[in-house]
Amino acid sequence: MGKLEREFYNRDTLLVARELIGKYLVRRAEEGLLVCRITETEAYIGRMDKASHAYQYRRTGRTEIMFGPPGHAYIYFVHGMYHCLNFVTEPEGEPSAVLIRGGAPRGDEDLLSLRRYGIPAGRQTKRQREHLMDGPGKLCLALGLSRAENGLDLTGDTLFVCESLSDVGLPPCREDEKTMRVGTGKRIGIDYAEEAIEFPWRFFVVK
């Protein structure tokens, strides 16, 4: 129980991606705790995955963090407008990571809504509520994450994952007490990746 330690990330990327589903991502900000339950992930394995930024050990300024120790945040900027949060996995030197694709708000939802929409949660439309964090760019906006947080140690106190809401002093959520089923499927937005398009490396909560 408690905050996930480095050993959790220092494992097979597919296993980490699957086991992150249902856990709680916490961002400690000046205004308080920003929290979500992880609902969707994708695995990327550099040594053989054409969808990975570090395919065949491609080492660049952007991918350098992926070659380092597991349990660090890899955040990149895409399409000139969105940030995407990844967790570095596997032993140092093996460039692999898990993309956090989606989350469900927990804790003080006003904080997340203000970051994402500039309004408190009570003023959201139904559509805004449903799509608050259902994509990697949206999730980063709600959590206030950008390239400034690239490289953060996930075993520290600023950005981390824990097993339960009680680990950060929050009451349990009734929705999370339901039996959770994890689905698998093809990853999204990787039409360039040839055979890797078909890899069933996306994991998500089945609604």
Residues comprising the chain, all counted: 207
- 69, 179 contact by CB (below 8 A): no
pLDDT at 165: 97
Dihedral class, residue 160 (left if φ above 0, else alpha if ψ from -120 to 50, else beta): beta
Domains assigned to the chain: 6-206 (3.10.300.10)
- pLDDT tens per residue across span 161-205: 999 999 999 999 999 999 999 999 999 999 999 999 999 999 999
Question: Cα–Cα distance between 166 and 39 in angstroms, integer?
Answer: 19
pLDDT at 1: 55
Question: Cα–Cα distance between 40 and 18 in angstroms, integer?
Answer: 9
